[in-house]
Amino acid sequence: MAELAPYAASPERSRGRRHREDAPEGRTEFQRDRDRIIHSSAFRRLEYKTQVFVNHEGDLFRTRLTHSIEVAQIGRSIARNLNLNEDLVEAIALAHDLGHTPFGHAGQDALNECMKAHGGFEHNLQSLRVVDILEERYGAFDGLNLCFETREGILKHCSAKNAELLGDVGERFLKKQQPNLEAQLANLADEIAYNNHDVDDGLRSGLITLDELASVPIFSRHIEMARSHFPDISGRRMIHETIRRMINSQVVDLIVQSSSNIASSNPGNMEDVRSSPALIAFSPQMREEQHELKHFLRTRLYQHYKVTRMSAKAKRIISDLFTAFTQDPRLLPSQFQEKTDSDLMRVTADYIAGMTDRYAIREHRRIFAVEEITL
Ligand code: MG
């Protein structure tokens, strides 16, 4: 493997863990972070949490688990090209969605609404809370005790008010600085992954069509290329030939633009990276094309009435559960009841946020359906 760039994150120069631990054997500190994330319970739950389509709508739609793996794949490819730390990018990518509620953004909006008077709910902050506090796996500390650089990458955005409460990882929001380049990269790899797989899943669901997508320049350009290479193919094969070209064009654009940003800014180390503007970036033209694609997905897919119906149901499930537990904490499972002395609202939010889609649906039934037998 090529040598890491001087501005890449390096395990030797890490700002370390919150609780001191002996150095790992046979792997680096960032590999150890990645391994801890993969072995966490929150990571396994990603398999049954969705972003747009709920699990029972079909087996082939992305889940948060397959999404996170795609983000890690795209992130690692780009990191290798830019001589950045692949292990750190992978760790951040695999952890970035750990704090998501069931039912994607509809679930988060509902939980945030429930928590409005109690500090709110934000999935980014929750991802950090999962790795810092909620995972119970070690005798010596709560959470996974990850390195600063991984934690900073997980906390993609954050209000000034919350930043003040977060200590070291909150600092950059107050100083208006950038995170390490691996964190910047994982963030954009996330965008590449979801924009493209939402096109794929949207077509698979039948809620959007190839004809409609013809109005989106980045899609029409690449489907034309695919057609000229393979005039005789159609259906799934044509969709895939188009989407793989779209992903590749965004990956290559990000590598070229970021290399040029790094060359002109010429950071000597990670501190220079923090005080520069964001160096990992798409070209202005690709940015524009992504805006058009996002706009299409928002208006045609995320706001499609069938998606909206599912979102409305999801919001009802989340707010019903929240109301039931906070009005009568005795309904909570005992391990959560034990913690409610500290803060009933936050403990309830943690419990609900940790649920998978299907667990939340079942829990709602167990509590509200009178004909339900298993409690
Ligand atoms: Mg994501």
pLDDT single digits (tens) 187-229: 999 999 999 999 999 999 999 999 999 999 999 999 999 999 9
CA distances from 123 to 12, 247, 321 (A): 30, 26, 18
Q: Given pLDDT bands bounded at 50, 70 and 90, which one contains residue 375?
A: low
Mean pLDDT, the chain, integer = 94
CA dihedral sign of residues 94, 100, 101, 106: negative
Cβ burial of 119 (10 Å; 0-12, 13-18, 19+) is middle
Ligand 1 centroid, distance to 368 Cα (angstroms): 32
In the numeric block, which tokens belong to residue 25?
């054997």
Q: What is the per-residue pLDDT across 93-151, written as a single tens digit (0 to 9) for each?
A: 999 999 999 999 899 999 999 999 999 999 999 999 999 999 999 999 999 999 999 99
Ligand 1 centroid, distance to 242 Cα (angstroms): 22
Ligand 1 centroid, distance to 194 Cα (angstroms): 7
For residue 151, give the nearest of 301, 19, 302 by alpha carbon: 19
Lowest mean pLDDT among 53-57, 97-101, 176-180: 53-57
Query: Which residues are bridge partners to 17 per DSSP?
Result: 147
In the numeric block, which tokens belong to residue 247?
């992903």
pLDDT at residue 235 is higher than 60: yes
Ligand 1 centroid, distance to 271 Cα (angstroms): 27
Tell me what percent of the residues of the chain surpass a pLDDT of 70: 97
Ligand 1 centroid, distance to 91 Cα (angstroms): 13
DSSP secondary structure letter of residue 170: G
The answer to whether 101 touches 319, Cβ cutoff 8 Å, is: no
Ligand 1 centroid, distance to 70 Cα (angstroms): 10
Q: Given pLDDT bands bounded at 50, 70 and 90, which one contains residue 373?
A: low
The pLDDT score that the predictor gives to residue 371 is: 80
Q: What distance separates the 2 farthest-apart alpha carbons in the chain?
A: 67
Question: Looking at residues 79-93, what average pLDDT do you find?
Answer: 98
Q: Given pLDDT bands bounded at 50, 70 and 90, which one contains residue 54?
A: low
Q: Given pLDDT bands bounded at 50, 70 and 90, which one contains residue 1?
A: low
pLDDT at residue 372 is higher than 70: no
Ligand 1 centroid, distance to 7 Cα (angstroms): 25
Query: Which domains are assigned to the chain?
Result: 26-307 (1.10.3210.10)
Question: Looking at residues 267-294, what average pLDDT do you find?
Answer: 96
Ligand 1 centroid, distance to 97 Cα (angstroms): 6
Q: Given pLDDT bands bounded at 50, 70 and 90, which one contains residue 46?
A: very high
The pLDDT score that the predictor gives to residue 252 is: 98
Ligand 1 centroid, distance to 103 Cα (angstroms): 13
Ligand 1 centroid, distance to 128 Cα (angstroms): 14
pLDDT at residue 233 is higher than 90: yes
- Please tell me which residue, 374 or 212, carries the higher pLDDT value: 212
Q: Please list the alpha-helical segments (H only) found in 96-159.
A: 104-114, 123-129, 148-154
For residue 246, give the nearest of 215, 212, 222, 226 by alpha carbon: 222
Ligand 1 centroid, distance to 269 Cα (angstroms): 28
Ligand 1 centroid, distance to 67 Cα (angstroms): 7
Ligand 1 centroid, distance to 190 Cα (angstroms): 5
Ligand 1 centroid, distance to 89 Cα (angstroms): 13
Using alpha carbons only, what angle is made at residue 160 by residues 279 and 151, rounded to the nearest 5 degrees? 55
Q: What is the per-residue pLDDT across 283-299, written as a single tens digit (0 to 9) for each?
A: 999 999 999 999 999 99
For residue 357, give the nearest of 40, 38, 47 by alpha carbon: 47
Lowest mean pLDDT among 4-13, 271-280, 335-344: 335-344
Ligand 1 centroid, distance to 171 Cα (angstroms): 23
Q: Please list the alpha-helical segments (H only) found in 115-234.
A: 123-129, 148-154, 160-165, 171-175, 181-205, 210-213, 217-229
